[in-house]
Homo-oligomer: A and B are copies of this chain.
Amino acid sequence: MKRTYRKADMPAADIRRLLEPGPIVLVSSRWQNRNNIMTMGWHCVLEFSPSLIGCMITADNHSFTMIDKSGECVINIPTADMIDTIIGIGNTSGRRINKFKKFNLTPGESNTISAPRIEECYAHFECRVADRKMLAKYNFFILEVLSAQAAVWPRFPRTVHYRGNGVFMESGRNIAMPEKFRPENL
């Protein structure tokens, strides 16, 4: 059974709500008329506005070449029900297979770039490569989020977080205490 979330645009400056907790993400890319997807855990919010994300992608990964050459990718947030897909994507290489087909995922048209979104994910952030200065030494891309969409409901997705050695952590309960924060620290 395929399930897609109903989504709405969200401000690019607000993506920290979904990325800062540290979930495993799926990165989709497009180059030379081929699509690809990778599983990624080494990422970091860098700035609200412009909305910047840093991420480390091993250079011998096929996605590294595709993102570097095309200058684009989509950061997609999968939910816990997609765990088998997340692992399968991490275990295979786009050099040999079409991962959208293999994992029965739907490539959706992006608003601002040619790389496709993954429709089954909870959210997607369309990105351009904004800075390559850290690529040679650290394989670290600095991405700018150009457009962002997220599911309208639920407000907070059940995400998966990787601990290494084949062990994932699922996001747990929320602790909301906005009254304890000074407005400038939210």
Q: Mark A residues whose CB is within 8 Å of B.
A: 14, 16-18, 20-23, 41-47, 52, 54-56, 80, 83-84, 87, 90-91, 131, 133-134, 137-138, 140, 142, 156, 160-182, 185-186
Known contacts: A54-B54, A172-B172. The answer to whether A91 contacts B181 by CB under 8 A is: yes
CB <8 Å contact, A44 and B44: yes
CB <8 Å contact, A169 and B21: yes
Known contacts: A20-B22, A22-B20. The answer to whether A186 contacts B164 by CB under 8 A is: yes
CB-defined contacts of A21 to chain B, threshold 8 Å: 22, 161-163, 169
CB distance from A40 to the nearest CB of B (A): 10
Number of identical protomers: 2
CB distance from A167 to the nearest CB of B (A): 5
CB <8 Å contact, B56 and A45: yes
Q: CA separation between A38 and B105, bound complex, in Å?
A: 41
CB-defined contacts of A137 to chain B, threshold 8 Å: 131
Subset of 17 A-B contacts with CB under 8 Å:
A17-B163, A17-B164, A21-B163, A44-B55, A45-B56, A47-B138, A52-B138, A83-B177, A87-B180, A87-B181, A91-B182, A91-B185, A164-B186, A168-B174, A168-B176, A168-B177, A169-B175
CB <8 Å contact, A185 and B17: no
Partner of A163, one of B140, B156, B166: B156
Known contacts: A91-B181, A163-B17, A169-B156. The answer to whether A42 contacts B44 by CB under 8 A is: yes
CB <8 Å contact, A170 and B167: no
CB <8 Å contact, B44 and A20: no
CB-defined contacts of A87 to chain B, threshold 8 Å: 177, 180-181
CB-defined contacts of A54 to chain B, threshold 8 Å: 44, 54, 56, 138, 140
CB-defined contacts of A185 to chain B, threshold 8 Å: 90-91
